[in-house]
A and B are shown apart, each in its own frame.
Chain A
Amino acid sequence: MSHLLQEVVAKAQKLNVPLNVHLDLTYRCNERCVHCYLDHDDHGEMTTAEIKHLLEEMADAGVFILTLSGGEIFVRKDLFEILEHARKLMFCVKLKTNAVLIREREAKRLKELAVESVQISIYSHRPEVHDAITLLPGSFKRSLDAIRLLKSHGMKVIIGNVLMTQNMHDYPSLRALAAEMGAECTIDPTITPMMDGNRAPLSLGVSNSALQEVFRDKSLVGNVEEFCAMPAQAGEDDLEATPCSAGHTACYVSPYGDVFPCVQFPLPTGNVRRQRFVDIWRHSDQMKEVRSIRLKDLPTCSHCTHVANCTRCPGLAFMEGNMRGPSTQDCEKSFARTGAPSANMLAKRRAAPNLVQIRMLPAAMANVSA
Chain B
Amino acid sequence: MSRLYVARDARVAARSLDGEMMIMSGRDSTLFTLNRTATILWQAADGITPLDEIVDREICADFDVDPDVALEDAEALARDLAAHEILKISDQPITLKNAGETQ
Which of A58-66, A131-139, A320-328 is near enough to bind chain B?
Answer: A58-66
**A8–B17 CB distance below 8 A:** yes
**A93–B13 CB distance below 8 A:** yes
CB within 8 Å for A8 and B10 given contacts A63-B15, A64-B22, A92-B24: no
- Complex interface residues of chain A between 49 and 102 (CB less than 8 A to chain B): 59, 62-65, 90-93
**B22–A156 CB distance below 8 A:** no
In the assembled complex, the Cα of A116 lies from the Cα of B25 at a distance in Å of 9
- In this complex, what residue of B is CB-closest to A8? B22
A117 part of interface (Cβ distance < 8 Å): yes
**A5–B15 CB distance below 8 A:** no
**A11–B26 CB distance below 8 A:** no
**A11–B29 CB distance below 8 A:** no
A residues near B (Cβ < 8 Å) are: 2, 4-5, 7-8, 11-12, 15, 17, 19, 59, 62-65, 90-93, 114, 116-117, 156
Best-surrounded residue of A8, A62, A90 (most CB of chain B within 10 A): A90
CB within 8 Å for A90 and B29 given contacts A64-B22, A114-B10, A116-B24: no
**B14–A90 CB distance below 8 A:** yes
B40 part of interface (Cβ distance < 8 Å): no
- Residues of the A chain whose Cβ atoms lie less than 8 Å from the Cβ of B16: 62
B residues near A (Cβ < 8 Å) are: 10-18, 22, 24, 26, 29, 31-33
- Residues of the B chain whose Cβ atoms lie less than 8 Å from the Cβ of A90: 12-15
In the assembled complex, the Cα of A299 lies from the Cα of B22 at a distance in Å of 38
Best-surrounded residue of A11, A59, A64, A116 (most CB of chain B within 10 A): A64
B11, B26, B33: the one contacting A8 at CB < 8 Å is: B33
- Residues of the B chain whose Cβ atoms lie less than 8 Å from the Cβ of A15: 17-18
- In this complex, what residue of A is CB-closest to B32? A4
B10, B13, B26, B33: the one contacting A91 at CB < 8 Å is: B13
- Residues of the B chain whose Cβ atoms lie less than 8 Å from the Cβ of A4: 31-33
- Residues of the A chain whose Cβ atoms lie less than 8 Å from the Cβ of B17: 8, 11-12, 15, 17, 19, 62, 64
In the assembled complex, the Cα of A79 lies from the Cα of B29 at a distance in Å of 23
CB within 8 Å for A59 and B33 given contacts A92-B24, A114-B10: no
- Residues of the B chain whose Cβ atoms lie less than 8 Å from the Cβ of A156: 29
In the assembled complex, the Cα of A354 lies from the Cα of B33 at a distance in Å of 60
A5, A12, A65, A114: the one contacting B26 at CB < 8 Å is: A114
In the assembled complex, the Cα of A297 lies from the Cα of B25 at a distance in Å of 40
B9: shortest Cβ distance to chain A, in Å?
A: 9
In the assembled complex, the Cα of A2 lies from the Cα of B14 at a distance in Å of 17
In the assembled complex, the Cα of A52 lies from the Cα of B65 at a distance in Å of 42
Best-surrounded residue of B10, B13, B29 (most CB of chain A within 10 A): B13
CB within 8 Å for A62 and B15 given contacts A8-B33, A116-B29: yes
In the assembled complex, the Cα of A65 lies from the Cα of B17 at a distance in Å of 13
In the assembled complex, the Cα of A4 lies from the Cα of B25 at a distance in Å of 14
In the assembled complex, the Cα of A116 lies from the Cα of B22 at a distance in Å of 15
